[in-house]
Structure 1
C-alpha cells in the first residue's frame, strides 16, 4: 500500500483533532476543536472510503458551539469526551443518536471558570490529563484542579501551584501527576499529600525553555517525553533519576504535540509550529524496543542516535503551525493553522 495524504480545507483554524474510539478499532469518525473564531465550535466528522474514488472528503455530522478557544480535547470512550476552554472552563460532552437517527452532542457536566486570574477574570485552561474517571486541569493562573467525572464539585484545588503558566500535565499514576511550566520546570505532585507542594522538581533543560507537551510510554509510564518551545524532545526514565537520559534535536520550532503509537509503542509521532509532522521509528534492523533495557533502548541512549532512529516526514512541510495530531492504526490525522485538516493513510507502522 502506498502512503497518501488527503487535505480538506475547512475555513477555520483547528487547535485539536481526535479520532473517536471505535469498538472494532478502525474508526471513520473524529472531532475537531476550533480557535480564533468569534464563535468557536467542536465538530464531529465522518468519512467514507470509496474504491472508485481515491479522494476522501470528510463531512460534518454535528456542529457544537463552544465558548472560547478549544485548548484540549480527549475521548474517555466512544460516547464521551472532555474539552477545555481558553475561558478557563472544562466540559464533559456526550455523543449519542436520537430515535430519528440524528447524531447529537450534549453537555453532561461542566466546570465553569476553573481557572481565574487574581483579579477574577477567566484564565485559560491550558491542558488536562485523565486517569479513568479522574481529571486534572492546569492553567495560565498556575493552579491545579482535581475533578471526577461523577461529581460537579471540585475534588481539590492546589492554588498557586506555580508562579507562572502551567502548559501541560499528565497522570503518572492514579495518585501522581507531572506538570510542565512556562519556565521549563517539571514538577511531580502526589495527590494524596495534604501539602500543596510538589514532591520533586527538575528542569526541562539548563535554560528556561518552556515545556509545551508531555506524553508517557503506553506500557511504561515511567518513560516520559517532553516537547519544548525550541523544538527539542527530552526523555526521562523516572525510575532512575530526574536527569534527562536523552535530548533529541527535532523540529525547528515549538513542539505542538507528541504521541506514542498505542499499538506500536516503539514508534513516536510529533508535530510542530514549524509545520512539520514526523514519524519516529526505532531501527528496524534491530529487535523491537525493549523498554526495560536502559543500555539498549534507543530512547534512553545518546550514543549513535542516527543509527537507532529513522525519522520520516509524513507530508511536505506546511507554512503554518500544525497544532494537533492523532493516531488510529495506520492512519494519522492532523490539523493546521492554514484552515485545513489532513488524513494520512497507510502510514508504515507495521515493521
Structure 2
C-alpha cells in the first residue's frame, strides 16, 4: 500500500476513466482529487502513478493543481471531462488537456443550488450532469448545450438532498436528510415513488450495474440497505457493520454482488451478497473501527484502489 501525505484534506478522489486512458499511455493510472476545509483556497489536483524504469517501484506524483472556490462535494470523470460541485452552490466543467495532462476549465455555473451542492451524477443517455443539493431540488446541465441555463426541478424535499443516482433515461433516485429515498420521473418532474427509510440521513445511493431496479444505500449510522424497486419497492436488506456515517458506496466492477463501502469509522469494507441479493458476509479491506475517517474512495476496472483519510493522507493499493 502506497501512502502520500498531501497536506490537504481530500473530500473526493476519482480515477480517470480507463476508456480515456487508451488515448495516451499512462493515463489509466491518473486520478483527480478535491479538497475540503480550505475555504476560498481549496484545490483540484491531478495525480498519476509512475513506475521507475530502474527498480519498477511505483510513486504517486502530482501532475497539476489549480485553485477551487468552496469545498469540493463531488467529482465526476467521464469521457475527457470532469464535473466538480461545491458546497457554495457552484459547478465547474473541466477538460483533460493532452498531452500536457492539465485540467482546463471550460465553464462554470455559480448558482446551481442556493444553499450548496451535495452530489451529482452523469447521465450518459442524456449526456447531462444531474446535481442535487441542500435546497431540495435537482438541476440538469446539458453538456451538449453549455450556454443553456440548467433545468431546475420543483422542490422535492423540505430537507437537504444528500445523494443522487441515475436509474434510466427517465428516472433518478435521491436520498435526503430525513431518511427517505425518492424516485423522480424526469418527464413529469414528479416523485413517482417514495421509500421510507428511517430518521437517519441517507448519505449515498447506487444502483446495481446489471439490475437497475436493485438499489443499495448507506446512512449516517453505518447501515447498508438494499431495495428492489419492483414489487412495491420491497426492502431486501438492512445490515449494520460500520459504527459511523458511510461516506461512499460503490459496486465492484464486474461483480454485481459485491459492494464496497467507506466510513467515518475508519474502515473500508467489502459486502458479499448472494445472486438473490441476500447477505452472505462482510470482509475488511482496510482499517479498523476508530482509525482516521475515510472521506472518499474509488476503484477502477483494473481493481486499483485509491482512498483518502481525514489525516490528509492519500492511499493507493490493489483490491
**Aligned residue for 2:283?**
311
| 3-state DSSP of counterpart to 1:27 | helix
CA distance in 2: counterparts of 1:142 and 1:53, whole angstroms: 53
Say whether 1:61 aligns with 2:63.
yes
**Aligned residue for 2:236?**
245
CA distance in 2: counterparts of 1:235 and 1:51, whole angstroms: 46
Say whether 1:114 aligns with 2:86.
no
Post-superposition offset of 1:242: 2.1
Post-superposition offset of 1:200: 1.4
Say whether 1:6 aligns with 2:7.
no
Post-superposition offset of 1:186: 1.1
TM-score normalised to structure 2 length:
0.91
Match of 1:105 among 103, 125, 129: 103
Greater strand percent: which structure?
A: 2
Post-superposition offset of 1:90: 1.0
**Aligned residue for 1:17?**
13
Post-superposition offset of 1:127: 0.5
Question: When the two structures are aligned, how many residues end up with a matched partner?
Answer: 309
Which of 1 and 2 has greater Rg? 1
Is the contact made by 1:6 and 1:55 (CA closer than 8 Å) also made in structure 2? no
Matches within 5 A, 1:229-308: 229-282=220-273, 290=275, 297=276, 299=277, 301=278, 305=279, 308=280
CA distance in 2: counterparts of 1:68 and 1:265, whole angstroms: 35
**Aligned residue for 1:41?**
43
Q: Please report the RMSD computed on the Cα atoms of aligned residues, expressed in angstroms.
A: 1.9
Post-superposition offset of 1:81: 1.1
CA distance in 1: counterparts of 2:88 and 2:16, whole angstroms: 25
CA distance in 2: counterparts of 1:72 and 1:216, whole angstroms: 18
| 3-state DSSP of counterpart to 2:51 | coil
Say whether 1:175 aligns with 2:170.
yes
Is the contact made by 1:8 and 1:342 (CA closer than 8 Å) also made in structure 2? yes
CA distance in 2: counterparts of 1:338 and 1:325, whole angstroms: 15
When residues 280 and 80 of structure 1 are mapped into structure 2, their CA distance, relative to the original with a 3 A threshold, is: same
What stretches of structure 1 of length at least 5 have no aligned partner?
117-122, 283-288, 291-296
What stretches of structure 2 of length at least 5 have no aligned partner?
none
**Aligned residue for 1:81?**
82
Match of 2:128 among 125, 131, 134: 134
After superposition, give the CA deviation of every residue in 1:285-304 in whole Å (9 maximum; x if it has no partner): xxxx54xxxxxx1x2x3xxx
CA distance in 2: counterparts of 1:166 and 1:104, whole angstroms: 32
Post-superposition offset of 1:166: 0.5
